[in-house]
A and B are shown apart, each in its own frame.
Chain A
C-alpha cells in the first residue's frame, strides 16, 4: 500500500508542479473573468457614448418632445444620445455637419404615419449597433404613442393590454425549477465531463506508454507489481483532475461573487432612478428582474447534490476510461499511430455520449435519456445533465446507473490490469485488438 502511495505522490506532484498545469488551472477561470470584464468594458466604452444628433423634423411629431428634453433615450449611465431640433434645410445641415459639433442628422420626412418606415440618417461615422437600436426603439416608441393618441387609446389602456406570460416551472412538490438554467447547466456539465474524460484519459495513456518507451517500467516493476503501478498512476492523475476542479469551483465562486458586485454597481439604484425619470425604466427594470430570477434559479438548484454527482461520475467515468486508456498505453510502443488506432474504440462511446447529450437535454426523462444515463460508457456524460434537471438521488435511474458504473469500472480495471501486465513488458510486437485479447489469457 505504501508503494502505491509513493507512486500516487510521484504521478501527482510531477504533474501539479508542471508549468502547463499551473497555467491551465489558473488561467481558465482568469480568462473567463477577463472575457466577461472585456465584454462589460466594451459595452461601456464601445457603445454610443455621448452623441449629439440634429433632428430635421419635417413631420413635426417629435419637435415638442425633443424641445422639452423628454426625447432622450438612455440605457446605462454612460451612454446617452442628445437630440436637438433644427429648422434649417436638410441641404444646409448636411453641408454644415462637419463643423457643427453634431455627430449626425436624423431626417424625419413628412409622410403619413402609416408610411413612415425608413428614416434617413446622415453621419460621418458609422453608427454603432447600440446607438442604432436605441434610436430605432425610441422612434418606434414615440410613434406608437402618437398612433395610440390618434386612435384614442390612452396610456393606461395600453398598460392593461400588455400581456406577457412566462412559465413558472415547479416540480411536484411545488419547488421552483427552471428548464433553461437546467439545460444550460446540464449541457455545461456534460460537456466538461466529456472534455475531462478525454483529457485525463489521454494523460494516463501517455504516461503509461512513456514509461514503456523510456524503459523505466522494468526498473519500477522490480519493486512493485504492475497492478500497483497502474493503479498508482490512475489515482495520481485522477487527483490532479480533482485538484483542478476544486480550484475551478472555488474560483468560479469568487467570480460569481465579483460578478455580483460588478452587476450591482453597474445597475445601481441611482442609475435606475435616473433612467426611470428619463422614461426608460422599462428595459432596465426588466433586466434587473431577469438577473434576479436567474440568480434565484441558480440558487434553487441543488448545487451540493450536483457537485457530488459531478464528482461521482467524474471518478466513475475516469476510472472506467482511464483503465482502458492505460491498457492501450501499455500495449503500444513508440509508434504513435498505433496509439491512435487502438485508442479510437475507447473514444467512440465518449463521442456518442456528447452527441446524445443534446438529445437528452431536449427530453431528459425519455427512454433514450434513461438508457444513455444507465449504460456505464455513456452515463458519466449524460447522468450529470439529467441531475441538473432535478433527478432525485433516490430515483431508480440514479441508483441503477451508479451501481452499474461502479461494477463496470471494477471490471474494466481488472481487465486492463491483465492487458497492462503483459503489454508493458512486451516489445516489438504489433499490438492489435486480437493480440490484446490473447494477452488476457496469459
Chain B
C-alpha cells in the first residue's frame, strides 16, 4: 500500500527532556492509524510536528513524498487533545473562520458548514453562541471544524477522551466514514479498548521511542504466548502429571500454555483420546492492552 505519510527519524528536545527521540513511521494511504502510548510518551509532540505546530529538531516528514511543512498544514485536519472554541463566537462564524484559515473561500466554507450541520442534524445551531451549547454539542462543532476542509489526513489526538458513549460511537462512525471516503486517519490514545475495533495499523510509543509498529493481527501474532482455551462438555480434567501446563481453570474449561516445541493439534488430540468431549478450542491472542502493559512495564510517566 502506498504511504501517505513517511516520518523519518524525527527528534524534538525541550531543554534536557527528550520528547521525541528519533521516531520513524509509515502511514499507509486510506488507513486508520493508532498512535498508542501512555501519557507523556511523546504522542502529542509527534503530532504537533506532523501538523507543523512545532518544528522538529531533526528528521523529515514527507507527505505524499514531499517535505513541505507549510503546505502540509492545509492538508491536515487536526483536533487537539485539549479541545477548544471561541466561546463568545457564533457557531456559523466560528466554523467559517476556521474553514477560511484552512484556505476555503467564504462561499465554499458556507456550503460545507451547511452540509455538515445538516449531516449531524444541527442546522439550527448556526446562529448560537458556542457557550450556549452543551459540552457534547461543542464536541460535534469541534469535530466539524476539524474536517470542514475535507483534508486527506485527519489527526485526532485522544478523540474519545471526555466523550459520552453516544458521541464516542458517533466519532468512531465518522472515522470509518472518512476512511471510506479516502481520508487517512491518525489518532492517538492511551486507551486500548477502541484501538482493536478501529485501527488497521498501530505504533506504540513510550518515552519518546517507538517500541513497535505494525498491523494489529501481526502484532498479536508476534506477541502470542501459545495459550489455548479448551471448553469441555463435562468437568475439566486435571493435567497433573502430563506434559501440558495449566495456567487457569474453571469448572468446565482450561487454559493451557504450550511450550515452543508443543503443537496445538497434539493438545487437542490429547483430550480427544482421553474420551473428553471438547466443545470449544481457541487460541488466546493477547489483547493490545496486554501487549501495551507488558511493553511499557505497567508504568507511565504520569
A216 to B145, CA, bound (A): 11
B73 to chain A, nearest CB (A): 6
A425 to chain B: which residues have CB within 8 Å?
48, 53-54
A296–B26 alpha-carbon span in the complex (Å):
78
Which residues of B sit under 8 angstroms from A337, Cβ to Cβ?
A: none
Bound complex: CA of A57 vs CA of B52, how far in Å? 96
Q: Which of B70-98 contact A (CB under 8 A)?
A: 73-74, 76, 78-80, 82-89, 97-98
Report the separation of the CA atoms of residues A218 and B51 in the bound assembly, to the nearest whole angstrom: 10
Q: Are B48 and A219 in contact (CB under 8 A)?
A: no
- Which of A105-113, A183-191, A220-228, A401-409 binds B? A220-228
Contact with B along A1-39 (1 / 0, CB 8 A): 001001100100010000000000000000000000000
Q: Which residues of the partner chain B approach A147 to less than 8 Å between Cβ atoms?
A: none
A223 to B88, CA, bound (A): 21
Asked if B249 is at the interface (CB within 8 A of a chain A CB), the reply is no
Q: Is the CB of B98 within 8 A of A218?
A: no
Question: Using a Cβ–Cβ cut-off of 8 Å, how many residues does chain B contribute to the interface with A?
Answer: 29
Q: Which residues of A contact B100 (CB under 8 A)?
A: 6
Classify the interface of chain A: helix, strand, loop or mixed.
Answer: helix
Could you tell me if B54 and A219 are in contact, using CB atoms closer than 8 angstroms? Answer: no
When the two chains form their complex, are residues A216 and B85 in contact, meaning their CB atoms are under 8 A apart?
yes
**What chain B residues lie within 8 Å of A410 (beta carbons)?**
none
Are the C-beta atoms of A215 and B84 separated by less than 8 Å?
yes
Tell me whether B181 is interfacial, beta carbon within 8 Å.
no
A442 contacts partner chain B, Cβ-Cβ < 8 Å: yes
Q: Are B101 and A220 in contact (CB-based, < 8 A)?
A: yes
B251 is an interface residue with CB less than 8 A from chain A: no
Pairwise interchain contact B73-A442, C-beta atoms closer than 8 A: no
B53 touches A221 (CB 8 A): yes
Q: Say yes or no: A442-B86 contact (C-beta < 8 A), given A219-B98, A221-B53.
A: no
The yes or no answer to B15 lying at the interface (CB within 8 A) is yes
- How many chain A residues touch B (CB < 8 A): the figure is 20
Shortest Cβ gap from A358 to chain B (Å) = 40
Complex Cα gap A60–B83 (Å): 92
Is B102's CB within 8 Å of the partner chain A? yes
Chain A nearest Cβ from B92, distance in angstroms: 13
CA distance A223 to B76 in the complex (A): 9
Nearest A residue to B88, CB-CB: A14
Rounded to whole Å, the gap between the CB of A12 and the closest CB of chain B is 12
Q: Pick the contact of A219 from B15, B78, B87, B89 — CB < 8 Å?
A: B78
Nearest-neighbour CB distance to chain A for B40, whole angstroms, equals 11
- In contact, B80 and A223 (Cβ under 8 angstroms): no
Q: Which of B73, B82, B87, B142 has the most CB of A within 10 A?
A: B82
A220 contacts which chain B residues (CB < 8 A)? 98, 101
Give the distance to chain A from B283, nearest Cβ to Cβ, in Å: 43
**Bound state CA distance, A216 and B82, in angstroms?**
8
A408 to B87, CA, bound (A): 35
A10 to B86, CA, bound (A): 11
A438: chain B residues at CB < 8 Å are: 15
Nearest B residue to A223 by beta-carbon distance?
Answer: B101
CA–CA, A219 to B146, complex, Å?
8
Q: Of B53, B73, B85, B101, which contacts A214 at CB under 8 A?
A: B85
Instruction: Name the B residues within 8 Å of A217 (CB-CB).
Output: 84
Q: Please, how many angstroms separate the alpha-carbon atoms of A442 and B14 in the complex? A: 7
In the complex, chain B residues whose CB is within 8 Å of the CB of A219: 78-80, 83-85, 98, 142, 145-146
Contact, CB under 8 Å: A214 / B84: yes
Residue positions of A touching B, CB distance < 8 A = 3, 6-7, 10, 14, 214-224, 425, 427, 438, 442
Q: List 12 A-B contacts (CB under 8 A).
A: A214-B85, A214-B86, A216-B84, A218-B80, A218-B82, A219-B78, A219-B80, A219-B84, A222-B73, A223-B98, A425-B53, A425-B54
For the complex of A and B, list the 6 residue pairs with the smallest distance between their C-beta atoms, beginning with the closest. A215-B84, A223-B101, A222-B78, A218-B80, A215-B82, A216-B84
